[in-house]
């Protein structure tokens, strides 16, 4: 995302040097209150961190000096790394607007309950104002908070009287009556400042429509996010005015240093099993270099029984190292990320029963008690039996801030830049408890697998390696981490140019040579007959043993190093594989069919809205071929497991027939 403020950096520097001319008198007084008495260019100790100070000053300059006509007509965006303290910046802006501009109403929007609960904890009773000493005269308790849908508050009835209104964006949608009521009350009140947290979620039709509807009442809109660039190319409509990324935070020692660990694999043993009869027909051991010829899916390397145990053993070894570094001051947490509820349940079961590690499972089906436990994992140490691990299906992403997360185990493949960075970000926040100095090195260990092909993600963190480390070498990351990387600075902002928008009056009527592009396949009209004739191979390949030379560790964000640790022993108290619950297997089949339907629909060139037709066709096909004609809810457990194992073939074969999916969409019932 383009930094729209880069062209004003020289002017901002001169403005600060010259005493901030043209500033509102009350704004000047408030900035002076926050300024260090020893350095008029720095914040006072105990208030804002240096990058928070820079964020705050750019918002003030953009709003008061430049104005919306120059920048920020649709809002100002602050791109600050996870753990960078975006909430403190929001609080400072709230205080400034109240003091200098007499703004009485502040609306904080967030995308989910996890983010909402975190913000509620920060603003309840003016906590963040007290913690950061952000108010010269006003009392923190004067900023009355009302949280929509929270059991702690009266809900929407307090919306008109509250100073700070905190709510999920969906609670202002016009597609539901509660949203209509909330938005109506807001729009009939005074003008307000809007804070759009986790703003990368904004590019959604109803989200954008709601922000547009609020626009006439918004005095100032400030968006915050750590991941503005999405995989689909969409971005918030606000203007980015400040960037503080991973490299900057590492240079300032503000976040943990990520370290990625991957197995160094030698050989793989595969077992061929008849999915219907469970008869094992052949076992083959091959070299790692030859494994691609068998077409194993990426997720098998972390979800089949033996590879999962091996990855967990690596992760638990890292967890033990983190516990030794913690020295009893806090309980490090292993965070396991799965792709579906079935895998998550299996992972939690394996940790709890096989490795005897107390693990908490959190999915969309979890009750509020378990969600609350997930938010308070770091406080469990005093209980005497704290959780050492938490397993989630992308439920614990943005807004879930547990600094004690010291190890992340990836049991899924990321294709989204946003999700990959968000999950890694869960482990970047430094632990700040009594006895830990600001200069004490902290790392976040990420256990990955080379077959998941996440190098693009580690490139974002500037991954480099140290070569020629022998397998028996000892290495202590916390003592031998390289110096932090230099901060990225714009040396000559005056040379930055703004890319002009495309002139709509210019039309190119020229012809482009695109080569011989074949036309799309004709939709298959008799698609039911074609679908019924597909034949499946009931033999599935499972990874039953993996031989590894060691575990490769790769430090991210600095000069880098590479080390190989000894291979872990996956031996446990028993060899029985974790067996997911009956409901988990049935739900997994349904969820995977829904995902397949959308993937096939989009791949066929249709809008995702047509996925329902494809899902219906696939569901009836699976019922007929693998569930003995029974519904998913009533089929025998063995048949459901058979269907689950065959779904990859269903996806591959239906996608491989030209025009089949198009036929389902065009001619389906």
Per the structure block, which two tokens stand in for 215? 């626009």
- The tally of domains found in the chain comes to 3
Are 286 and 398 within one domain? yes
Q: How confident is the model at residue 425 (pLDDT cuts 50, 70, 90)?
A: confident
C-alpha 400, offset from chain centre: 10
Quick check: 531 and 600 in contact, CB under 8 A?
no
Are 272 and 195 within one domain? no
In a domain, residue 504? The reply is no
Classify strands 192-197 and 35-36 as parallel, antiparallel or unpaired: unpaired
Give CA separation, 566 vs 204, 211, 316, 552, in Å.
Answer: 47, 54, 14, 9
Cα separation of the two ends of the chain = 43
pLDDT digits (tens, 9 = 90+) for 112-122: 777 888 888 88
pLDDT digits (tens, 9 = 90+) for 331-365: 999 999 998 888 888 999 999 999 999 998 887 77
Dihedral of the alpha carbons of 73, 75, 80, 81, in degrees to the nearest 10: -120
pLDDT greater than 90 at residue 662: yes
Per the structure block, which two tokens stand in for 643? 């269907």
Q: CATH code at 321?
A: 3.40.50.300
In a domain, residue 407? The reply is yes
Question: Domain ends where: 190, 223, 244?
Answer: 244
pLDDT digits (tens, 9 = 90+) for 449-507: 988 888 888 887 765 433 333 333 344 555 545 555 555 555 555 555 555 555 555 44
Contacts of 614 (CB under 8 A, 6+ apart): 597, 598, 600, 601, 661, 664, 665, 668
Question: Residue 491: is it exposed, middle or buried by C-beta count within 10 angstroms (0-12/13-18/19+)?
Answer: exposed
Q: If we measure between CA atoms, which residue out of 47, 34, 174, 196 comes closest to residue 111?
A: 196
Sign of CA dihedral 369, 370, 374, 378: positive
In a domain, residue 502? The reply is no
Give the model's pLDDT for residue 466. Answer: 35
Are 277 and 236 within one domain? no
Select the more confidently predicted residue: 667 or 381: 667
Are 204 and 273 within one domain? no
Are 454 and 313 within one domain? yes
C-alpha to C-alpha distance for 447 and 261, rounded to whole angstroms: 5
> pTM for the complete prediction?
0.75
Quick check: 588 and 303 in contact, CB under 8 A?
no
Residue 87 C-beta-side C-alpha neighbours within 13 Å: 23
In a domain, residue 496? The reply is no
Are 216 and 288 within one domain? no
Q: Which domain holds residue 627?
A: 581-667
C-alpha 77, offset from chain centre: 18
In a domain, residue 467? The reply is yes
Among the residue ranges 6-15, 350-359, 556-565, 583-592, the one predicted with the least confidence is: 556-565
Q: How confident is the model at residue 298 (pLDDT cuts 50, 70, 90)?
A: confident
Give the model's pLDDT for residue 23. Answer: 92
C-alpha to C-alpha distance for 391 and 412, rounded to whole angstroms: 12
Are 230 and 262 within one domain? no
Per the structure block, which two tokens stand in for 487? 């901060």
pLDDT greater than 80 at residue 210: yes
Question: Domain ends where: 533, 566, 599?
Answer: 566
Contacts of 575 (CB under 8 A, 6+ apart): none
Contacts of 143 (CB under 8 A, 6+ apart): 94, 98, 106, 123, 126, 129, 163, 164
The mean pLDDT value for 74-102 works out to 93
Quick check: 597 and 618 in contact, CB under 8 A?
yes
């Amino acid at each position: 995302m383009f930094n729209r403020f880069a062209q004003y950096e020289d002017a901002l520097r001169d403005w600060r040097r010259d005493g901030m001319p043209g500033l509102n008198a009350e704004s000047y007084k408030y900035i002076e209150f926050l300024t260090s008495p020893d350095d008029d260019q720095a914040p006072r100790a105990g208030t804002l961190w240096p990058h928070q100070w820079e964020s705050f000053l750019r918002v003030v300059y953009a709003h008061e000096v430049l104005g919306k006509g120059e920048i920020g007509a649709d809002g100002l965006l602050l791109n600050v790394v996870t753990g960078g303290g975006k909430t403190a910046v929001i609080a400072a802006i709230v205080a400034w607007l109240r003091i200098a501009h007499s703004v009485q109403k502040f609306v904080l929007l967030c995308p989910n309950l996890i983010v909402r609960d975190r913000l509620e904890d920060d603003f309840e009773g003016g906590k963040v104002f007290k913690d950061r000493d952000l108010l010269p005269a006003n009392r923190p308790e004067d900023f009355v908070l009302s949280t929509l849908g929270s059991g702690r508050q009266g809900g929407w009835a307090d919306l008109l009287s509250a100073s700070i209104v905190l709510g999920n964006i969906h609670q202002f949608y016009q597609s539901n009556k509660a949203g209509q009521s909330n938005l109506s009350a807001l729009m009939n009140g005074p003008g307000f400042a809007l804070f759009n947290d986790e703003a990368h979620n904004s590019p959604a039709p109803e989200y954008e429509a709601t922000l547009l509807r609020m626009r006439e009442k918004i005095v100032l809109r400030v968006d915050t996010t750590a991941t503005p660039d999405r995989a689909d190319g969409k971005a918030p409509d606000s203007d980015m005015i400040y960037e503080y990324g991973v490299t900057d935070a590492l240079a300032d020692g503000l976040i943990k240093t990520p370290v990625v660990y991957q197995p160094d694999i030698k050989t793989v043993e595969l077992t061929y099993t008849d999915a219907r009869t469970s008869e094992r027909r052949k076992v083959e051991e091959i070299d790692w270099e030859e494994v691609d010829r068998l077409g194993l899916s990426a997720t098998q390397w972390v979800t089949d029984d033996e590879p999962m145990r091996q990855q967990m053993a690596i992760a638990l070894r890292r967890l033990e190292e983190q516990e030794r570094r913690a020295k009893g001051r806090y309980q490090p947490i292993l965070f396991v990320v799965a792709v579906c509820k079935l895998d998550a349940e299996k992972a939690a079961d394996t940790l709890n029963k096989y490795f005897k590690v107390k693990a908490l499972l959190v999915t969309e089906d979890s009750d509020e008690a378990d969600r609350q436990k997930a938010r308070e994992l770091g406080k469990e140490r005093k209980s005497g039996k704290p959780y050492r691990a938490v397993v989630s299906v992308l439920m614990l992403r943005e807004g879930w801030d547990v600094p004690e997360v010291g190890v992340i185990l990836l049991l899924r493949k990321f294709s989204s830049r946003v999700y990959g960075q968000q999950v890694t970000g869960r482990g970047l926040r430094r632990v700040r408890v009594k006895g830990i100095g600001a200069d004490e090195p902290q790392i976040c260990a990420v256990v990955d697998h080379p077959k998941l092909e996440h190098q693009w993600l580690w490139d974002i963190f500037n991954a480099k390696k140290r070569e020629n480390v022998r397998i028996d070498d000892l290495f202590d990351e916390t003592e031998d981490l390289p110096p932090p990387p230099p901060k990225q600075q714009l040396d000559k902002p005056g040379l930055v140019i703004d890319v002009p928008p495309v002139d709509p009056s210019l039309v190119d009527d020229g012809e482009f040579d695109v080569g011989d592009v074949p036309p799309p396949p004709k939709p298959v009209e008799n698609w039911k007959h074609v679908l019924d004739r597909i034949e499946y191979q009931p033999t599935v390949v499972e990874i039953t043993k993996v031989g590894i030379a060691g575990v490769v560790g790769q430090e991210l964000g600095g000069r880098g190093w590479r080390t190989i640790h000894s291979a872990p022993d996956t031996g446990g108290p028993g060899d029985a594989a974790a067996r997911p619950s009956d409901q988990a297997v049935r739900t997994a089949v349904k969820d995977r069919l829904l995902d397949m339907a959308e993937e096939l629909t989009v791949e066929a060139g249709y809008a995702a809205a047509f996925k329902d037709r494809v899902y219906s066709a696939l569901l009836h096909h699976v019922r007929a071929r693998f569930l003995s004609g029974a519904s998913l809810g009533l089929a025998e457990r063995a048949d459901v497991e058979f269907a689950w194992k065959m779904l990859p073939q269903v996806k591959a074969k239906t996608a491989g027939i030209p025009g089949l999916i198009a036929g389902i969409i065009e001619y389906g019932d």
